[in-house]
Structures are given as structure tokens and as C-alpha cells.
Amino acid sequence: MEVELSPKEIQVASLIAKGLSHQEVADKIHRSKRTVESHVRSIYDKTNIKRRLGALTLWFIQSPYNMSA
């Protein structure tokens, strides 16, 4: 099953995978922390990851969305 993330979700996942906190992501993308948390919940739902930052990081590193590899 292929996961469809929005461009903003991809950006948020990429920054979280780099170790940024939700507040740091919010500052970087000029959004509120609550907006970032909403994106993260959506990413968790779409990727079937449940509240595991490490799992999200691992998923992102292995995903086709990771353009830094």
C-alpha cells in the first residue's frame, strides 16, 4: 500500500526525522505548534504509526519521500 502525504506533511516528516521538536518545526515552517501536531497526527494515521517518533523517523528514512538519500 502506497502512502500519500501532502507536501506539508512531507516537509514536517523530514524535519522530525532530522530530530527537530514540534516547536522547532513550527518555527521553521512558519506555522503554529498545534498545526504541526495536526500534521504529525495525520502522518501517523496515514503511515499506520502510532505515536512513535523513532518509527516515524525510520519510516521516513526508508520512504520514497526522503530526497536526501
| Structure confidence at residue 25 (pLDDT) | 96
pLDDT in tens, 14-61: 898 888 999 999 999 999 999 999 998 898 888 777 666 666 776 677
Separation between Cα atoms, residue 24 and residue 47, nearest integer Å: 22
Question: For position 53, what pLDDT does the model report?
Answer: 66
pLDDT for position 26: 98
| HSE (side-chain half, CA atoms, 13 Å) at 25 | 23
Q: What is the reported pLDDT for 49?
A: 74
pTM of the model: 0.73
